[in-house]
Structures are given as structure tokens and as C-alpha cells.
Structure 1
């Protein structure tokens, strides 16, 4: 089987020095992920507040809470939208180009973040229904950011530092989670201070003041700000040279675009250009040839992301329930609504600061040294270990004197999720598939992950709540459902460890080498020659 020569313009990309544009692209793409994670995870901060505002039973001394089906819908509907957006925009990115679909995602994110905060209605049901509508379309826009940002960054980076740059884009997710907690702390603190300063207002234990309705709306609408700030910059980004050269078949334009952003002068010699007519450029997605070359790779990237997100989103979206179960947070009836939000946000911020954010950035620093494969195995292995450490002696950790130890180990599961599969599952699909399928295959892999997240959001909510009630009624100690959920998450992490062996290592290799982009059964075709001056 013969190989075509790699187009010279792409060889130049692979060995180009790191330029200022690489860092600019990280910021522009990364701010999308900052917004994505803020919008996806800030909902977990306000669900208890929504329950107290809209589902309080008149005359009851117990604060209101969202019914399980409503809580699952509020937490999970954005994930459903994200799954659909990943598939749609992944496909669109390969059909229209990476840049062509990029602005649409931001417009959806800005508009629907604002719409989520403006969810009004004449009844609690209508408010929640409106919120779920906007959260779905918010998720749809967020979903598009996954394949587009990853593909754009991978196609501009050189092969030596490509992993670090793609991981840096995804690492902004950690700052988004951190920002969600900090915004909730600031907003709740302001409203608490206003009530304490007003002698005619009271915010007693177990109460929910009417102005708390503004709090959750402000928190949700804040997500529109970072997305809006990067809209202009995204629209100014040129199409990636790899898409232009390999999919659009316009090497002249690819040279021009690369010259603009990488500070090189490129002169192309056109006389050797020949039309390409080979099987490599013809086989279709999911054809026999695609499945022969990349079928196991796609299974590996999709399955590991699916398994990872069951565990990761179960932990993230229901942190507040886990904190309450082990006694780190007081019961809702012992706090006012604003106090409860403040303490939940403070706990989430602490976990993000000590476990989540460091995990992302350790990956950035090490991924091009020890490789994607090793990091993913390490992450799944230690996630499994710490899940079982939490679950097996679960009732030991629920004692008040031991809950700090629980939080430390719980934080380590986040560290090794992010220094591990939560980062690498994003990086690898952007590197190992052909250019004309790259965005689509990344979208499929990411959508498999969101299918896992939906299982985590819907399934484990019911599993922990309903099983806890059933077991408690039968005489078992409280929290048995949470313990069993942690055991299941540990088993899922073991499966992720073994499915990782389907994924190839891409460290130090060009995208064309990994994707076998230039492989063909026919004769060699001489590509255009270029002269490059830095």
C-alpha cells in the first residue's frame, strides 16, 4: 500500500514554532469552554433554591424541594441539548468548515443564557418548563463548542505541543466551574447583606425570602457575558489550513491563511498540482474502509467518554447531595435559602480549587511528555481506587469527625478525573481521525459522553433518592443508596480503564500520520510544493 506525500503546507504546520496566535486561539476557544462549564454546572447550585421557591408546601415547616422528576429534568435537559448539538455541529463543521459553524454556537449560548434567567410563568410548572426549554437550546449551542474548538486547535497546533494546546482549551472548563461557585457566593452574599442591613426584612432559619427569586436568575444569566466577549474574536479567526488543504482542496488559500496567523511567508509553486483520485479521499463515514481503519478507534473514544461522563457528571451535578449525606452541609431546615446557596457554592468552589482545576493543568503540562494513553489509564485507575475507598467504609465517613477526610478523598476523584480521562477523551478524537471526518467523529465521541452524563443525571438521582428512602423504611442506615451509587461509579471507572486499550497513542505524531490521511492503494501523487520563509 503506497502513501501520498503530505502537503508541504501541513509539514510546515507540524514543525512551526509556537506563535502568539496559538495562545490567542487557546483563549478564544477556551472562553467558550469556560462558558460551557459555567452554564452546565451552575444549575446544580440553584436547584435547591428552585425547590424552596416554587415547591414549598404552604404551612409546612420543612423547606420545599424539587420532586425527583423535576430535578432530573432541570439537571438533565441541557445535557440532552448538548448531545444533539455535538452531533449536529460536528457534522456541520465537516460540511461548512470549522469557522462557518463557530459563531452560531456562541449566539445560542448568549441568547439562551439570558433566556434561562428570564424564565417567567404564572405557575411553578410554567417557570420550570420555560427554564428547561432555554436550557435545552443552551446545551445545543454548548454541544457545538466541543467538536469545533477541539478540531480548530488541533489543526493549527504543531505536533510537538499539540496535546498541551488542546488540553489548555478544555482546561478552561475548570475555571468555568470555579467561576460558577464564586459568582453564586458573591450574589448570595450581596443579598444576605441587604437583608441583614434592613431592620424591616427578615431572613429567618428555614425561610425563603421573595427576593431569592432574583438570585438564581442572576447566576444563570451571568453565563452570557464571557460568551459575548469572545464573539468578535471568533468571527475574525480564519478557517484552519488543514480543512482548507485537505477537505476544500485549496492549498493556495491554506497557505494564505497560515501566513496570516503564524507569521510566515509562503510561496507556492503551482505547476506540480495534480487532482487527487484515490481511495483515501473517497471512502465514506461508516464505510467498510472507515471501519477497517478507524472503527475500533471510534469505539474506544466513544466508550471511554461515555463511561467517564457517567461518573463525572454524577459527581458534579449532585455534589450538594453528597455533601449533605456525609454531614458536611447542615440540613436545609437549619438554614435560610440564601445561607444554603452560599454554603453549597462555597463547598463546590473549594472542591474546584483544590481538585478540579489542578487536575486539568497537570494534564496540560504532562500530556506531551508521558502521552495521552498513560494519563487516561492513570486517571481511570485512581478514580476506581478512590470511589471504592469512599464507598466500602461509607458509614465511617458519615461520622462528623471523619467528613473532612471524605471531602479530601472525594476531591482526589476529581483531580484524577481531570488529570486523566476527562481531559484525554477530549484531546484524542481531535487527533486520530481524517480531516473530512474529524469534527464529526469528535462530535460522535462527545455525544456518547453526554449520553453517559444523562444516565448520571437521571439515573443516579433516582437511584440515590429512591433507594435511600426504600432502604431507610426497611431499617437500613441512611445513605445506603449513596454508598451503592459510589460502588457502581467505581465499577464504571474500571470498565473505562480497559476500554482505553482501544485508543491509540498520538503523542509526537502528525495528524495525517495518525489518521492515515495520505494512505492509498494506488500510485503516489505529487502534492503542491511550497517555499516557506519565517
Structure 2
């Protein structure tokens, strides 16, 4: 087969017109991301409530949230599980196939979402420990959804609108964040009869009304609903033709599956598939020098940019209630009951998600195949850097009552440009530029690097923000100097993200096989042959 020649079944996918199956795949894969975002970010709404239910001592002068230790555990344990799940299921998706592994991750998410809401214990530590256990395994299942959803969508899409389709799957994350706020608003409003009257002297362990304990449990358990609703349809999806043909080497099944999806007649091309998959130039493994030479810088680019992006993105999302409380946009905890505080935090998160987070995702969907991944990612990092410094340097100016709305607007713009920027593109690009037999694995590695950044952001922001401004008197919230310094650090992190973006190639308008080099029929030069000859490493 000549260099650049394509299998008929893969070419049919590359040039297929947008049709119903594309949108069906977006919804099926996207609902996994809807659930992922809901589960990961709904916990930030519950931490204040958990603190007031289980950790508020009667002698404490003012109600606050969870202490730093339990809060970092509850917030971070799911991220640790997600990181490990991305690595494990990413590798498994290349070994067993995308579809076979896809159902496992969703089933794990459903079970652990319900179990998180049923967390039990005879003491505060017992409840938090049980919650952390289930949230770890919830994160493990969520982790598998990243490489599998991205890989499946990239392998189903045509090359003209592939970026928009993958970005649309990821954009469901925005609706998950929005829904977590809406569900919290509904739950807190439903129990408003339980709010004690001011001055809330009975809002403490032993006298807290039982409804408060129901609130966080209902919010967490709701994450099982969207995942459960899409399980059947996910299991009905056929395996992707690129995996079936290029990895499993079953030309007949690949043609049969895609003929049914595309409603066209396709030839099996068994001999052509054999030639395509047996070319020694494309048999290198993940840990070979051949992979390092061809894709090493690409993998470095996708991992570093995702790592840096998630430091900022998860810090902002998981601790936005603390940032907004520090400038007084959310009132001090002492002025509210636990249920009212949940309502106000959820309202703030919902407003930001509706006005900036969700639109940012869909701007990417609209423009990614027009202006390209590279331009969007570079632009996003640039504006995130600008707005972070604009918030941090004159931080105390923004804390004045007349300037709080300006702070919220600029803070919202950092969410908009993270999503109309690197938060979307770091997910899209790793699903496009690596070979089919390593695609899920490399996406999992890139995503795991991102979750390592999220862990750094979650733990780092929590402890950095504990530094108090002496001018502030409310011990319930991290404020002042700590928040300001954290925002400066996040601005520097985003600036580094701009630099590492230059390692990432532009996949716009090219087929997956062009990008990965899988349709090359011969070695580029003698150096390629020498490298390949010395690396008879089996693919991992």
C-alpha cells in the first residue's frame, strides 16, 4: 500500500457528512462527562455543610467549613482516584477495546455515586472516612471516561468537524457543573422550613435538624441518575472501526459495523488491513525510542499543558466559594443557617456557570475547526494570565463593597477563557495525534498529568489561602493575603501554559492516520530504519 493510502472504511469515516449517529455519539459519550463534572464539582457545594454538621463545636464563636485536613481529603481523594483511573482504563482501552471497557466505568460511577450519599459512621471521622472511600472509587470510574470518551468520539468523527465533535462531548462538563448548582438550589429550597431563626444558636452538632444531613447526601446521589440513564445506549454502540481494523485487525467486522452506522456499502479489505497494520515502521511501542522520536515532544506538550491548566482550573472551581466569600459577595457564615449558606453558594456557582463556564465550552465547539486548537489554547492561557494578575495585584481594591461586582465579572472571565481555551483543547488534541493502538493510553497519560495538576491546585490553594489578612475578622473563610498570593501563583502557572503550548501540533483538517503516521508505507530515512531495527518493542 502506498504512503498516505487510506483504508476504505476509515476514509468513509473521514469524509462522512454530519448525520444522526454523530449527534447520538456526542450525547452518549457526553453524558459521561456531564456525570463526571457533576460528581467532581458538587462536593465543593457540600464541604461547608459537612463542616457545620459534623465539625462545628458549640464553643466555636462562628460556624465555618471543614477543617483543612478533612476538606483536603474530601476534595482531593476523588482526584487521586481519577488520576489512577485515567492511567488504568486508558491502557485497558487499547488492550481490550473501547466499548468493552466503556460500560465498566459507567457502572462504577453509578454505584459509587449512590454509595457516597449513603456514607455512614458513628462519628464525624467515620462519616468522612466512608465518604472518602467511595469518592476514591467514584473518581476511579470517572478517570476511565476521559480517555475512552475522547478516543471513541475522535475515531467516529469526520476530519472536517472532528474537533467540534470531541469538544461537544467535553462541553457537557459545563452542563454538569451548572446542574450541580441547580440541584443544590432545589434541595436547599425544598428544606427551607428547617432553617432555624436568627441568631442560629441551635445550628450545631446534636441540635442540627436532620434535614441538613439529607441535603448533601441527595446532592451527591443525584450523580447516579444521568449515568444510569445512558448505560444501555452506551453498551449498544459498536466498537470503533479504527480499533477493530488497526488494532484488532478484523477488517470484516470493522466494515460491517461502519456500514450499519453510515448506511453505506463498504468492502472488508482484509489484505489491505494486514498490510496497513504490519508495516514495521508503525509497530513501535510506547517505551521505544521510535515513539520518543516521533511523539515524545507531542506527549510532553499534552501532559505539561494539561497539568498547568488543571492547577488553575480546579483551584478556581473547587474554591470559588472561598474566593467569593473573601470579597464579601457571599455573606459571612455567622449570618446564615447551614441551609441558607448552601443556597447562596449554589446560587453563586450557578450564576458563574451559566454566564461564563457553559458559554466558554460552546464557543470552543463553534470555532475549534475554524481557527484551530493551537490558537484557541494560546489565546485562553493568555487571557487567563491577564485576568488572574488583574484580580491579584489590586486585590484589596476589589474587596471594597462598591467594586465587588467588578471582581466577580473579571473572575467569571477567567472561567470563560479557560473553557474557550486550554480546558477544552487539552482534552481534544491527545485524542487526535497518537497512533490507534496507543491513543487511549496516551490520552490517559495526558489526562492523568492534568489530574496531578488538579491535586496540586486543590491542596496548594487550600493551604496557601489559609494565610489570613489581619484586617479580616471572620475565621470561617480563608481571605486576604492568602487569596491574593494564590491568584498571583495561578497567573504565573497560566503564563507557563502559553510557553508549553508551542510543543503541541495543530491537528485541524487532517485524518487521524496522517497525524499519527500510521498510513506511511516506508521509513522516512535511514535513521528511522536504524531506530526501528534497534527497537523491536512490542506495543504496550
Give the match for residue 252 of structure 1: 252
SS in 2 for 1:238: coil
Residues of 1 paired with 2:272 and 2:46: CA distance? 62
Distance 1:273 1:355, change over 3 A: closer
Q: Is the 8 A contact 1:280 1:518 kept in 2?
A: no
TM, length-normalised to structure 2: 0.92
SS in 2 for 1:144: helix
Give the match for residue 237 of structure 1: 237
1:459, distance to aligned residue in structure 2 (A): 1.1
Q: Does 1:205 align with 2:200?
A: yes
1:309-353 CA distance string (max 9 Å, x none): 000000000011001101101100110000000000000000000
Distance 1:215 1:203, change over 3 A: farther
Q: What does 1:377-392 correspond to in 2, within 5 Å? A: 377-392=378-393
For structure 1, which segment, 6-15 or 348-357, has the greater mean C-alpha deviation from structure 2 after superposition? Answer: 6-15
Q: What does 1:243-392 correspond to in 2, within 5 Å? A: 243-268=243-268, 274-275=274-275, 276-392=277-393
SS in 2 for 1:519: coil
Residues of 2 paired with 1:33 and 1:270: CA distance? 36
Q: Is the 8 A contact 2:251 2:270 kept in 1?
A: no
1:261, distance to aligned residue in structure 2 (A): 1.3
Residues of 2 paired with 1:328 and 1:505: CA distance? 41
1:272, distance to aligned residue in structure 2 (A): 6.1
1:520, distance to aligned residue in structure 2 (A): 4.4
Give the match for residue 12 of structure 1: 12
Q: Is the 8 A contact 1:209 1:337 kept in 2?
A: no
1:68, distance to aligned residue in structure 2 (A): 0.6
Distance 1:270 1:290, change over 3 A: closer
Q: What does 1:376-525 correspond to in 2, within 5 Å? A: 376-465=377-466, 467-468=467-468, 479-521=480-522
Q: Unpaired runs of 5+ in structure 1?
A: 524-534
1:82, distance to aligned residue in structure 2 (A): 0.3
Give the match for residue 127 of structure 1: 127
Q: Is the 8 A contact 2:14 2:157 kept in 1?
A: yes
Give the match for residue 51 of structure 2: 51
Distance 1:338 1:160, change over 3 A: same
1:229-261 CA distance string (max 9 Å, x none): 000001100100011111111111111110111
Residues of 2 paired with 1:54 and 1:360: CA distance? 37
SS in 1 for 2:65: coil
Q: Is the 8 A contact 1:391 1:484 kept in 2?
A: yes
1:469-506 CA distance string (max 9 Å, x none): 78979xxx960110010000000000000100000000
Residues of 1 paired with 2:273 and 2:412: CA distance? 56
1:521, distance to aligned residue in structure 2 (A): 3.3
Q: What does 1:23-34 correspond to in 2, within 5 Å? A: 23-34=23-34
Residues of 1 paired with 2:468 and 2:313: CA distance? 21
Residues of 1 paired with 2:270 and 2:289: CA distance? 35
Give the match for residue 531 of structure 2: none
1:187-206 CA distance string (max 9 Å, x none): 000001x337xxxx757536
Distance 1:470 1:87, change over 3 A: farther
Q: Is the 8 A contact 2:5 2:519 kept in 1?
A: yes
Q: Does 1:195 align with 2:200?
A: no
Distance 1:220 1:271, change over 3 A: closer
Residues of 2 paired with 1:52 and 1:164: CA distance? 43
1:269, distance to aligned residue in structure 2 (A): 5.3
Question: Alignment length, in residue pairs?
Answer: 514
Q: What does 1:215-226 correspond to in 2, within 5 Å? A: 215-226=215-226
Give the match for residue 140 of structure 1: 140
Give the match for residue 158 of structure 2: 158
1:67, distance to aligned residue in structure 2 (A): 1.2
Give the match for residue 73 of structure 1: 73
1:388, distance to aligned residue in structure 2 (A): 0.5
- How large is the Cα RMSD of the aligned pairs? 1.9
Q: Is the 8 A contact 2:357 2:416 kept in 1?
A: yes
Distance 1:25 1:120, change over 3 A: same
Q: Unpaired runs of 5+ in structure 2?
A: 525-540
SS in 1 for 2:285: coil
SS in 2 for 1:498: helix
Q: Is the 8 A contact 2:84 2:448 kept in 1?
A: yes
Distance 1:392 1:251, change over 3 A: same
Give the match for residue 530 of structure 2: none
SS in 2 for 1:404: helix
Q: Is the 8 A contact 1:184 1:341 kept in 2?
A: yes
1:60, distance to aligned residue in structure 2 (A): 3.2
Q: Is the 8 A contact 2:307 2:451 kept in 1?
A: yes
